[in-house]
Structure 1
Amino acid sequence: MSHPPSLTPPLVNYRPPMEPYLDVLFADAHFVIVDKPSGLLSVPGKAEEHRDCLEYRARERFGDTRIVHRLDMDTSGIMVLARTDECHRNLGRQFEKRKVEKSYMARVWGAMAADAGQVDLPLICDWPNRPKQMVSHEHGKRAVTDWQVVARDDVSTLVRLTPHTGRSHQLRVHMLSLGHVIMGDRFYAEGEALAAADRLMLHAESLRFIHPDRGEWVEFISPCPFG
């Protein structure tokens, strides 16, 4: 008897961090900027025990916030939530048309030889092992990431990542493709690279977009907690 593949790994023993409960960096009548901790879902899961998430907490406080984009549960960092329908549509279009500028910090396993580079590898869902993703030149969607070394130590490299596309697990798989998996990554890391950190060492550091009401560029920064 065959069994359907399970999610890898399953979302079990969900214990989202409670301090800080909601770290608000900025709020006006149009949107809210928050700093999501690692371990908190961006949106609720299907099960009741997975209801607690960033969107739920923001609505508790503000009453009118809506998710515009997501970060993986294990990723920390900056997110924007819309407070009006008009703002939600405006920001949604900016993300869709890739007008939004984002940067991430990651600590990867091993010493990267070069100081900077670009990964241009198409990605597709690794369906039997979902939600993992994989490179597929035949069926994948284009994914592009710039990377730049910030610092090195004996076992790891701190890099700044600038994605030009927004594919699922893009930064994780692109770093893996270079032979330098992100430390603490429970999906892709193994052995020492997995055990070396108690969380995924990936942080959304900055977010830059056009203010939906004022029409001017605004930028928000969340300092990297593991730099």
Structure 2
Amino acid sequence: MAVYVYSIVGDKHPLHLDGVTGIGESPSELRMITEGPLRAVVSDAPDDLRPKRRDLTAHQGVQNRLMADGTILPLRFGLTAEDDEAVRAALEAHATEYVDKLQALEGCAEYHLKASEDEEALLRQILEDSSEARELNDDIRNGAAGPDAPLVLGELVAKEAQARQNALATGVVEALSAFAREQEISQLTGGDFLSASFLVSEDQDELFLTTELSLANQMGDEFQFRLHGPLPPYSFV
């Protein structure tokens, strides 16, 4: 029977999973598959596996419970194997890699930061700082500009906004990376200029959080910082 794989842990992990349920409308019992120094936390895979809110929440709940008691290699939602033997074979084949990664992640959690800037505030700042953009904007408003002026202004503003926000993102990442073991930059969505994950050890956690809060305060109300964590270190597995 197909099995759903939640996470990989070391054989010393206490695995306190009483009361924790897995995915599926009628979740099967969580169980362990052991091979050498590793264990995989699994359950029977439901036939209709899809990323429903219920199952996403259950998947994350298993990770959070495991992470509270020790180091884990959290797997993304949806990973299944043909049967227990296939899981055991994977643990055996990748034992050195998994053990090394568990050691590298020991005592660490992931923090994910997204940041955005108010579009109107950004436009005002560009018009204040760029004489070219300001003059072109004035000409458009006064009716003295050519028919291509709005397009030219839009391209100029977009280029300047991209340069400014790239610089801001680089500065934020550099400041926070001083308190992180690793960082991963994610693809941007919406109006964000930064989407990044940081692997932070327990002894740097307070400094990381204090620095993030200080950066958000320094940058002002025109900026929105959304920090999520501590999370299982998905981005670093």
Provide TM-score, normalisation by structure 1: 0.31
Structure number with greater Rg is: 2
- Which structure carries more relative contact order (alpha carbon 8 Å, separation 6+)? 2
Which structure has greater strand proportion?
1
Query: Which structure is higher in helix share?
Result: 2
With normalisation by structure 2, the TM-score equals 0.30
